[in-house]
Amino acid sequence: MSFLPAISIIALLAMLPVLISLRASMVEGGTDFAAACAIAAAATLFLMLSEFPTLRLLFPIGVALLAGACAFMLSGFHRALDVSKRISTLLVAAASVAVLTLLLAAFGASSVTLHALSAIGIAAAFLLNIAVCSQHRRSAPGPVERLVVIALTAVGCSALIAVTLLSPVAHATASTRIEPVSWDIACAAMRYFYLPALFLGVILMIQNRVITDLKSAIARDELTGVLSRRALLDLGQRTLAMSFARQRPAAFLLLDLDYFKQINDRYGHAVGDAALGHFAGTVTACLAGRGTLGRIGGEEFGIVLPNHSENAAFALAEEIGRTVRDTPIGRFDRPIQLTVSIGLAEATPGDTISDVMIRADMALYDAKADGRDRCTIAGRFQPDASARALAAAAAQMRAADVRAFEPQLLRDAG
């Protein structure tokens, strides 16, 4: 008896606890993958035992379990990739099986056919692992990519079952000496290492998705959906470094929603949260990819603007101000008009993102002091320790200044 089935069983059993633990990762299909792995280990065990002449009757059970493991694998990919219609998965799987059936019918169960099936299955496993491990490095896969993954899974599983059925064990008689590995190394690799390699790809796929989701959760502000403060600062620092290296301009806008505390006091915090979400959505739509919006904290937001000179950034800030002013919140009894004050600072060589933000913060204080609902450009000084302290004081003064205004300054549209 060959030692290869034992290696396959050990590999599958080693991956089974990992798949079971990943079921709690909120990734659809995790239960199906875990079931497929457990059934595949049992199938491999039965197929291994069937190599003994006295236990050859276990071979049909092993093949049936193998087919069940493949079915669970297809179901797992169907759920994990969120294929919209189950009929699509069934049609693609049926077409894949039909192609291999035609191959068998045309060339018969010869050694050449076994070699071809093994090559097809191994190629499908290789491409499938590449597909499932790389799909979450960018946007979600489209419908064609999803069906390609389903097709590769079906082709590989069909080839695996066909190679298993055509193996010497399936056709041996009581007087035939069984040599499960000698007939072909590729076929043996297909029989014993296709599923472990495939489950390894599944584990990497789920881990990639979990890591991507965690990074997205950390990088995004939960309330508004824009970048968090830390993610915005990291992006800003990378943008400055790239802009300086390419000798391109870059700017930073610091936005503060006017009279936000009065919105909370007058309408309640639920409306305040809605105002922040509405504001973030309005500004993001206005940017249209020209910059990246992030939430600094409270009602303060920042925008990183690569390839924007001071004049270009000011024109964009004016456009943002008009758009916010002309887009009131209309989901409540009376439309609530919002306005925004903006501080603008252009980056100069040697600046860090903190330096640019300090200058923008000083400009924002000037915009507030000048009457709000406007954009002010920062001076071109290099911030030192006193400037940093002054910027912090300016932020505190803005907060105190907001509390001092009477509610009538909060303007309602309509």
Q: What is the pLDDT of residues 176-232, one digit of tens each?
A: 343 444 445 767 777 778 888 888 888 877 777 777 777 766 788 888 889 988 889
Count of residues for the chain?
Answer: 414
Q: What is the pLDDT of residues 102-141, one digit of tens each?
A: 666 555 556 666 666 667 777 777 777 777 666 555 455 6
Q: What is the pLDDT of residues 297-346, one digit of tens each?
A: 889 999 999 999 999 999 999 999 999 999 988 765 678 889 999 999 99
Q: 229-409, what's its fold?
A: Alpha-Beta Plaits (3.30.70)
Nearest to 363 by CA among 380, 385, 386, 384: 380
Candidate from 142-146, 152-156, 237-241, 261-265 with smallest mean pLDDT: 142-146
Residues 6 or more apart whose CB falls under 8 angstroms from that of 390 comprise: 362
Q: What is the pLDDT of residues 26-60, one digit of tens each?
A: 567 778 888 999 999 999 899 888 888 888 888 88
Q: Could you count the other beta carbons within 10 Å of the beta carbon of residue 11? A: 20
Element (H, E) at 306: strand 300-306
Question: Is the CA virtual torsion 52, 58, 64, 70 positive or negative?
Answer: negative
User: Who has greater pLDDT, 208 or 289?
Assistant: 289
Is 392's pLDDT higher than 60?
no
Phi-psi region of 307 (alpha: psi -120 to 50; beta: other; left: phi over 0): left
Q: What is the pLDDT of residues 81-104, one digit of tens each?
A: 776 666 656 666 677 666 666 666
Question: Which stretch, 59-73, 282-296, 373-387, has highest mean pLDDT?
Answer: 282-296
What Å distances lie between residue 196 and 10, 19, 80, 97, CA to CA?
10, 12, 19, 21
User: Who has greater pLDDT, 106 or 62?
Assistant: 62
In the numeric block, the tokens 């280990």 are attached to: 41
In the numeric block, the tokens 């949260």 are attached to: 273
Q: What is the predicted pLDDT for the residue at 407?
A: 41
Q: What is the predicted pLDDT for the residue at 279?
A: 93
Q: What is the predicted pLDDT for the residue at 287?
A: 92
Average pLDDT over residues 354-379: 90
User: Who has greater pLDDT, 106 or 276?
Assistant: 276
What gap in Å lies between CA 368 and CA 346, rounded to an integer? 19
What gap in Å lies between CA 341 and CA 374, rounded to an integer? 5
Q: What is the predicted pLDDT for the residue at 177?
A: 40
Mean pLDDT of the chain, nearest integer: 78
Q: Could you count the other beta carbons within 10 Å of the beta carbon of residue 59? A: 20
Burial letters for 186-223: b for 16+ Cβ neighbours within 10 Å, e otherwise?
bbbbbbbbbbbbbbbbbbebbbbbeeeeeeeeebbbee
Which part of the chain has CATH 3.30.70.270? 229-409
Burial letters for 77-111: b for 16+ Cβ neighbours within 10 Å, e otherwise?
bbbbbebeeeeebeebbeebbeebeebbeeeeeee
Element (H, E) at 49: helix 30-49
pTM score, two decimals?
A: 0.56
Q: What is the predicted pLDDT for the residue at 370?
A: 87
Is 277's pLDDT higher than 80?
yes
DSSP assignment of 102-128: HHHHHH-S-HHHHHHHHHHHHHHHHHH
What gap in Å lies between CA 338 and CA 276, rounded to an integer? 10
The strand pair at 340-346 and 375-377 is best described as: parallel
